[in-house]
Amino acid sequence: MNPTAILPDPDEERQRWAAYRRLGTDDPRCLICGEDNWRCLELHHVAGRAYDELGVILCRNCHRKQTNSAGNAPNPNEPPILERAGHYLLGLAALLAELVARFRAYGQQLLDGAILCPWPYGWVGAPVVSG
């Protein structure tokens, strides 16, 4: 048995904890899809870096779908408050639109599953109420 095979790689542990610090939590997950592998997670600036520092954790795939690369460069000048607010709301709307689509799909999956699953999770074997 190789004794180094059971010991954690110190470099990987250092990288993992650096990612936790960058993401602001030791239990990070993608807000959209739930990915929890720290190697795949990034901080998404909701309004874009040029307009605000507020961020949410997204996996690389979801981050690419949400990010407008042309509008994500740091702004050399401080933008006015209304422009920052406008970019924040547009970024938040894009994020929420993706979540709404996920919620609809998950909701439909639950309804479809209710037809097949046993009581109390679904309708199979549910008590019959006579009236």
Predicted TM-score (pTM) of the model is 0.72
pLDDT > 70 in the chain, percent: 88
Residue with tokens 């960058």: 22
List the single range of 34-48, 57-71, 80-94 with lowest mean pLDDT: 57-71
Q: Domain-by-domain residue ranges, the chain?
A: 3-116
Q: Over 70: is that where the pLDDT of 122 sits?
A: yes
